[in-house]
Structure 1
Amino acid sequence: MSFTESKEYFRWERFFTAVLIDMTKDSYLAYKKKNLNLAYLTDTVRKAILEKVEHINLI
């Protein structure tokens, strides 16, 4: 994807959720907002997320 287009979405969050769902469909990482895929809850993924979060400065 080289650009972001959101004419059909009211909020950016909905646009990016739709992109994530489309990009992961038919894979073991299939994303559904209502029920989080257990593949995203493994220790490896949790550690990767926490490593990225610690670099975020909210101040």
Structure 2
Amino acid sequence: MARWGVNDGRCISRTSYPIEESGASIRQRTGKIMLTNAIETGRGLKKAKALLPHGKWGK
């Protein structure tokens, strides 16, 4: 399959394997980032909840 070069307009020949591999790598990194962010969000919510009196969370 041929693709146009981004910088110089020349035609670059590629197979789909490196493209799929980079897609898998991006998905893996994105998953790690999302998990880390979810954990940090949970920690922040836990700290905020601890500052409120009983029964006041969500009001």
Bigger relative contact order (CA 8 A; separation at least 6): 2
TM-score normalized by the length of structure 1: 0.29
Q: Which protein is bigger by CA-based radius of gyration?
A: 2
TM-score, normalised on structure 2? 0.29
